[in-house]
């Protein structure tokens, strides 16, 4: 387990897989009439609550400083509350697999932000990996979703907010990471802050009655809570080990999981170009992973 906890590649695969699992679960919840804000609330409260229990069992306490509170709420808005609202709003229109493709654009946007801010500069092989992954994502995107149901350009445009928000969150969490604060503590604080903001939005807009449809999807709700709690424990560790650009590569894995899950379990159908593009995306992940390992070896040698 310790080897996995210290392995950027291993953390990348497991975090991306757990993120991708949420896409088909979100479509199941939407089909049952669950509001996007309610499902986003379930994810944040479930993940934050489970991880808080872990901290309590460890008897680990976090002092709530002004810096940490600021971090919790800004990270919550950029990384969880807003992206999840968009994702679970577009899934019914675009499909779980196609929505996952939106995640694959976040590495490119993260890289652009990183270069502008000077927070991290990938080596040449890493930039090749990102470019290959983006080429595959672009091939998938131009197929416009399911074969028999071309995506509405308006909803595609709304979906494009996802990579922008995720990229902003990736950069923010790195440059403002509170000193002497572990990844699990940050995951707990950020998710509980996200849950608080989403609860206010639910009360003000759809109302508390919006929680009623959750009773129709108990298995999916429990599965989502477990997947979210596990994912975000690994997510913040990957942030610390790999950095923001490498962290963003989880989107490639999540997109592949979403495509396969949508096809196998939700009767979504995609053209061969979509699958070929997904294969290219995975090649990009492999190249980037190799670049990350090379970079770590160079740092150790230096």
> What is the domain extent for residue 252?
2-301
pLDDT score recorded for residue 201: 95
Strands (E) in the chain, as ranges, are none
Angle, helices 250-265 vs 106-117, to 10°: value is 170
Residue 209 DSSP code: G
Residue 118 DSSP code: T
> From residue 96, how far is each of 26, 88, 146, 266 by CA, in Å?
8, 9, 10, 9
The pair of structure tokens assigned to 231 is: 């994912």
Mean pLDDT of 185-198: 92
Q: How many domains are contained in the chain?
A: 1
Smallest CA-to-CA distance from 102 within 25, 33, 23 is with: 23
- CA 282 remoteness from chain centre: 17
For residues 140 and 301, the model is more confident at 140
pLDDT tens-digit readout, 207-221: 999 999 999 899 999
The pair of structure tokens assigned to 150 is: 């071309």
Mean pLDDT of 82-110: 84
**Which of 1-5, 40-44, 46-50, 269-273 has maximum average pLDDT?**
40-44
Mean pLDDT of 264-279: 80
pLDDT score recorded for residue 110: 75
Mean pLDDT of 136-140: 77
At residue 167 the predicted structure's pLDDT band, cuts being 50, 70 and 90, is confident
pLDDT score recorded for residue 25: 93
Contact status, residue 148 vs residue 269, Cβ threshold 8 Å: yes
The pair of structure tokens assigned to 275 is: 């699958």
Q: Show the CA angle centred on residue 166, arms to residues 165 and 169, nearest 5°.
A: 90
Q: Which residues contact 241 (CB under 8 A, 6 or more apart)?
A: 6, 7, 8, 11
Smallest CA-to-CA distance from 12 within 290, 284, 247, 259 is with: 247
CA distance 39 to 29: 7
The SS3 assignment for 60 reads coil
At residue 148 the predicted structure's pLDDT band, cuts being 50, 70 and 90, is low
CA distance 23 to 4: 24
CA distance 125 to 43: 35
Considering the entire predicted model, what is its pTM? 0.82
Portion of the chain with pLDDT greater than 90, in percent? 28
- Whether 288 shows a pLDDT value over 80: the answer reads no
């Amino acid at each position: 387990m310790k080897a996995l906890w210290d392995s950027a590649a291993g953390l990348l695969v497991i975090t991306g897989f757990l993120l991708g699992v949420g896409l088909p679960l979100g479509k199941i919840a939407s089909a049952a009439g669950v509001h996007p804000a309610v499902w986003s609330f379930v994810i944040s409260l479930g993940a934050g609550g489970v991880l808080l229990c872990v901290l309590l069992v460890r008897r680990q306490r976090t002092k709530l400083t002004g810096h940490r509170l600021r971090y919790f709420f800004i990270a919550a808005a950029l990384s969880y509350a807003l992206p999840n609202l968009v994702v679970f709003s577009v899934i019914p229109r675009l499909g779980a697999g196609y929505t996952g493709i939106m995640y694959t654009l976040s590495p490119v946007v993260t890289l652009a932000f990183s270069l502008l801010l000077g927070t991290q500069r990938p080596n040449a092989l890493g930039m090749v990996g990102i470019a290959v992954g983006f080429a595959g994502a672009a091939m998938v995107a131009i197929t416009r979703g399911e074969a028999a149901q071309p995506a509405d350009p308006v909803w595609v445009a709304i979906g494009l907010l996802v990579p922008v928000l995720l990229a902003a969150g990736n950069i923010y969490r790195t440059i403002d990471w509170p000193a002497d604060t572990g990844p699990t503590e940050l995951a707990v604080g950020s998710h509980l802050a996200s849950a608080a903001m989403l609860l206010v939005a639910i009360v003000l807009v759809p109302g508390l009655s919006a929680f009623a449809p959750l009773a129709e999807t108990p298995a999916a709700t429990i599965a989502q809570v477990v997947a979210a709690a596990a994912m975000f424990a690994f997510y913040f560790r990957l942030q610390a080990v790999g950095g923001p650009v490498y962290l963003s590569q989880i989107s490639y894995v999540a997109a592949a999981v979403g495509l396969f899950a949508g096809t196998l379990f939700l009767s979504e159908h995609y053209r061969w170009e979509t699958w070929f593009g997904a294969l290219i995306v995975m090649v990009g992940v492999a190249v980037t992973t190799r670049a990350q390992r090379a970079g770590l070896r160079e740092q150790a040698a230096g």
